[in-house]
Structures are given as C-alpha cells and as structure tokens.
C-alpha cells in the first residue's frame, strides 16, 4: 500500500445529529479493508490545532456504534473555526490556522481529512481546500438544507422524532378538542415541518419559505369545526416569520454569531387562543430532534457516505463532497453545497400534495389555493386519453 494512502483523518463538526457515528464506522471499516489507518480528531476542527486532540480509530473501538446517536469524537459549532455561508456571507478564517492544520497533518502523516458537517463546517472544509489542505466532505444536517444532495443524514431521524410527537399530540388534541402547536427546528428551511406535518396529519404547516396570515390560519381551523373536527394540529418551523415580519428569537443578536431562534410556537398558540377563544397548547421539541439513535434510512445513508468518502480520499478527489442522488451516491464539489441553502419551494411536490389534502400553509383562505382551483378546473374539463397531463408526465 503506497504511503500516500496510509492514514486518514476524520472529524465531526457543527451541531450533532443521529448518524454521525455511522459515518465514522463506515469510514473506518472501509479504510481497514484497504489497509489504511484512521485517526479521529476530537471536538471538530478544534482538535486539529493546539492542543491537538485525537484518537486512533479501528474496527474494535468503532464496533457497535452504528445505532448510537451523537458522535464518539465530540463536536463544536463555535470557536476558532466558526464560519457560515448560505444566508449569511462567508466568514474567512485566520490564515494562521491553516498553517497549524498543515503542521498537524504532516506530523501525523495524514494523506487526507474527512470533514463531516453542515453548511458552516463544509465552508471551513472549502477554505481548507482552497489553501491546499487535502479534504473531503460529508454532508450532515437535520434541517436538510444543504444543496447538491437530495438528503442529508440526520434529517430522516429528526422527521421521525417530530412525527412521533405529532402522533401523540393528535390523540390528546382529539380528546380535549384542543389546538396543538408543535414547534420544530428549521432556521432557514421548513423541510422538517413539511415532512413531519404531512406524516403527522397536521392541519396547518407554517414554514420560512411561505408567507402566511393569522386570518388564513384561523379560517382553516374554523373550517374544520364545520366538518365536526373540533381539534387541529399546527406544525411550525422555528424560522418561520410572523405575518408582520421578523423572526422570533430567544436572545438579542451578538455580532459575528447566529442568533438563537425559538418561541414562535408560543406566539402562534397564544394568538390562536385569543382569536378563536379555543384552548390551545404548545410543544417545543428543541434538541430532542437531534438526540437518540438514527433511523434505518439514516444508518444506511450515513454508512454509505463514510465508505464513499474513503474512496474519494484514495482517488485523491479532494475538495469534493459525497452526495445522495437517488439511487446513487456521487461526488460533487464542496463549493456547490455551501454557496446556497436548499429551501422548500412553494410548488414542490410535498407542498402541492399537502395542499391537495387540505393542509393550509396560511397563505390562502381554505379551498382557494391554486392547487384546489387547478384540480377543480381539470375536473370540469373533458377527460383526455391517458389521464390528466400532470399525471402522465410525472
């Protein structure tokens, strides 16, 4: 085995999520079969610089971690390597850090570094690549907000957690004729709220991408009353803006740091209770969505990501990231993943299907959405051979 592929570094950066350990295990097992060693750096990128903190990884100390949440290497989303892209402008790192990273990799005889992280962490990886540091990316995000990949691992697990909460809220809401509001994560995107809302039979879904009004939400709930359904479930993403504009935050913004979101669920619940004179409750899932074991889908996807990341290192395809393009796992430039956020489109399949089911996104009064009008118009037109054009082309 050439020295150029003798030892690989790996780290987990940014917020934790289910599936990180599955990536680590997949990379270690794949590297071992190729005769390569793996070194894991603790606490994300911070482990690369003074003080350098790492641990050798092998098939023994990574055995049995595929179903374990969190990361055995630890992680951090603050410190000297804080960098974000997407909605915010990129924050360049201190040039001296690159020299320290190069020194560490040289001392440990590393041929490449696998970085597992979201948009901020992969922005750091992109800067590593631009400075000649051999790095490969693995996309991670419960928000599913990274472009260039259909899904990130961690997302399915977060949706499963939120859906389970919706199921539990459904029974208590129906028993007491209550409105239940569930606040889920989603800073810039509503993927979790959308998927969990559909899977959990929400009546209203509020997401950052679609403006909404109090009147339209209230009308949807009143419509359910006329149908004999005296309870409603509302799923809201933490990053959804209020009708008057502005995000709900837990603290005042600090220069150079992302403000912590949270609390919109309480505002929605309070407003609906006042407007409708109906008993309303709110549940904020918070970090429950990040914890616990990964789903089967996330385990399989994360394991594949780990194995393919090792392959990219061996092929010296640095500056690239593994990406899921169903049914294949491919490689794309890291730059393509971090230069924009993947957001829910108002005409995406999930939104269109939800509207067809009668779900309100708060932007239209009930039964007046373009989807409903389009379906009614289609129903009134003479049928054509082969069925509706929209179905034939699907």
Q: Are residues 58 and 188 in the same domain?
A: no
How many domains is the chain built from? 2
Q: Are residues 243 and 137 in the same domain?
A: no
Q: Are residues 43 and 114 in the same domain?
A: yes
Q: Are residues 137 and 186 in the same domain?
A: no
Residue 259 maps to a domain: yes
Residue 84 has pLDDT above 80, yes or no: no
Among left, alpha and beta (phi > 0; psi -120 to 50; other), residue 49 is: beta
138 burial (CB, 10 Å; 0-12 / 13-18 / 19+) is buried
Q: What is the arithmetic mean of pLDDT over 36-52?
A: 94
Percent of the chain with pLDDT strictly greater than 70: 87
Question: Positive or negative CA dihedral for 194, 197, 201, 202?
Answer: negative
Q: Which of 23, 34, 20, 31 is nearest to 58 (CA)?
A: 31
Looking at residue 235, its pLDDT comes to: 98
Q: Are residues 107 and 253 in the same domain?
A: no
Q: What is the arithmetic mean of pLDDT over 43-70?
A: 95
Is the bond preceding 387 in cis, omega lying within 30 degrees of 0? Answer: no
Banded model confidence at residue 377, pLDDT cuts 50, 70, 90: low
Looking at residue 334, its pLDDT comes to: 95
Residue 375 maps to a domain: no
Q: Are residues 16 and 142 in the same domain?
A: yes
Question: Positive or negative CA dihedral for 198, 182, 241, 229?
Answer: positive
Looking at residue 391, its pLDDT comes to: 42
Residue 373 maps to a domain: no
Q: What is the arithmetic mean of pLDDT over 350-372?
A: 85
Residue 76 maps to a domain: yes
Q: For residue 247, give both structure tokens.
A: 């995000």
From the centroid of its chain, how far is CA 374? 32
For the chain, the residue count is: 394
Q: Which of 20, 115, 13, 118 is nearest to 67 (CA)?
A: 20
Looking at residue 393, its pLDDT comes to: 35
CATH number at residue 76: 3.40.50.450
CA–CA distance, 11 with 8 (Å, rounded to integer): 10
Neighbouring C-beta atoms of residue 313, cutoff 10 Å: 27
Instruction: For the chain, give the mean pLDDT.
Output: 89
Q: Please, are residues 12 and 302 in contact by the beta-carbon 8 Å criterion? A: no
pLDDT digits (tens, 9 = 90+) for 211-238: 999 999 999 999 999 999 999 999 999 9
Q: Which of 335, 326, 322, 300 is nearest to 114 (CA)?
A: 322
Looking at residue 24, its pLDDT comes to: 98
Q: What is the arithmetic mean of pLDDT over 33-43?
A: 95
Q: Please, are residues 214 and 271 in contact by the beta-carbon 8 Å criterion? A: yes
Q: Are residues 51 and 104 in the same domain?
A: yes
* 259-268, 301-310, 354-363: least confidently modelled range: 259-268
Q: What is the arithmetic mean of pLDDT over 6-12?
A: 95
Q: What is the arithmetic mean of pLDDT over 317-332?
A: 96
Q: What is the arithmetic mean of pLDDT over 196-223?
A: 96
Banded model confidence at residue 258, pLDDT cuts 50, 70, 90: low
Banded model confidence at residue 382, pLDDT cuts 50, 70, 90: low
Residue 109 has pLDDT above 80, yes or no: yes
Q: Write out the residue range of the structural domain in which residue 38 sits.
A: 3-153+294-326
Residue 18 has pLDDT above 60, yes or no: yes
Neighbouring C-beta atoms of residue 392, cutoff 10 Å: 10
The b-or-e profile of 225-262 (16+ CB within 10 A means b, else e) is: eeeeeebbbbbbbbbbbbeeeebbeeeeeeeeeeeebb
CATH number at residue 175: 3.40.50.460
Residue 173 maps to a domain: yes
* 84-93, 109-118, 333-342: least confidently modelled range: 84-93
Banded model confidence at residue 66, pLDDT cuts 50, 70, 90: very high
Catalytic residue positions? 143
Q: Are residues 176 and 130 in the same domain?
A: no
Residue 349 maps to a domain: yes
Q: Are residues 17 and 120 in the same domain?
A: yes
Q: What is the arithmetic mean of pLDDT over 329-345?
A: 91
Banded model confidence at residue 380, pLDDT cuts 50, 70, 90: low
Residue 108 has pLDDT above 90, yes or no: yes
Percent of the chain with pLDDT strictly greater than 90: 76
Contacts of 282 (CB under 8 A, 6+ apart): 180, 181, 182, 183, 265, 266, 268, 269
Residue 394 maps to a domain: no
Q: Are residues 95 and 217 in the same domain?
A: no
């Amino acid at each position: 085995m050439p020295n150029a592929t003798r030892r690989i570094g790996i780290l987990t950066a940014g917020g934790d999520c289910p599936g990180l350990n599955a990536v680590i295990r997949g990379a270690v097992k794949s590297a071992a079969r190729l005769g390569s060693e793996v070194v894991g750096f603790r606490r994300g990128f911070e482990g690369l610089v003074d003080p350098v903190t790492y641990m050798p990884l092998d098939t023994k100390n990574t055995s049995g971690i595929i179903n374990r949440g969190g990361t055995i290497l630890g992680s951090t989303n603050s410190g000297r390597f804080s960098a974000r892209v997407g909605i915010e402008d990129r924050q360049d790192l201190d040039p001296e850090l690159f020299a320290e990273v190069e020194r560490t990799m040289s001392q440990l005889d590393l041929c490449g570094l696998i970085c597992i992280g979201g948009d901020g962490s992969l922005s750091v990886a992109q800067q590593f690549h631009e400075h000649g540091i051999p790095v490969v990316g693995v996309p991670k995000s419960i928000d599913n907000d990274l472009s260039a990949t259909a899904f990130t691992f961690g997302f399915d697990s977060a949706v499963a957690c939120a859906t389970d909460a919706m199921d539990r809220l459904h029974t208590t809401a129906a028993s007491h004729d209550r409105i239940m509001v569930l606040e889920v994560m989603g800073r810039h995107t509503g993927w979790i709220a959308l998927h969990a809302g559909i899977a959990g039979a929400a009546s209203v879904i509020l997401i950052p991408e679609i403006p909404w009004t109090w009147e339209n939400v209230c009308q949807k709930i009143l419509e359910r009353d006329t149908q004999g359904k005296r309870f409603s479930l509302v799923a809201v993403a933490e990053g959804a803006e209020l009708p008057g504009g502005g995000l709900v935050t837990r603290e005042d913004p600090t220069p150079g740091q992302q403000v912590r979101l949270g609390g919109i669920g309480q505002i929605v619940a309070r407003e609906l209770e006042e407007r409708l004179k109906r008993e309303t409750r709110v549940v904020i899932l918070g970090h429950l969505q990040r914890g616990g074991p990964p789903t089967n889908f996330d385990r399989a996807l994360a394991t594949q990501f780990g194995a393919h990341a090792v392959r990219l290192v061996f092929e010296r395809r640095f500056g690239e990231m593994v990406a899921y393009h169903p049914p294949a796992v491919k490689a794309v430039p890291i730059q393509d993943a971090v230069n924009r956020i993947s957001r829910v489109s108002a005409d995406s399949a999930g939104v269109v299907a939800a509207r067809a089911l009668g779900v309100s996104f708060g932007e239209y009064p009930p039964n007046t959405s373009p989807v409903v009008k389009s379906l009614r118009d289609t129903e009134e037109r003479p049928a054509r051979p082969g069925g509706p054009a929209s179905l034939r082309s699907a």
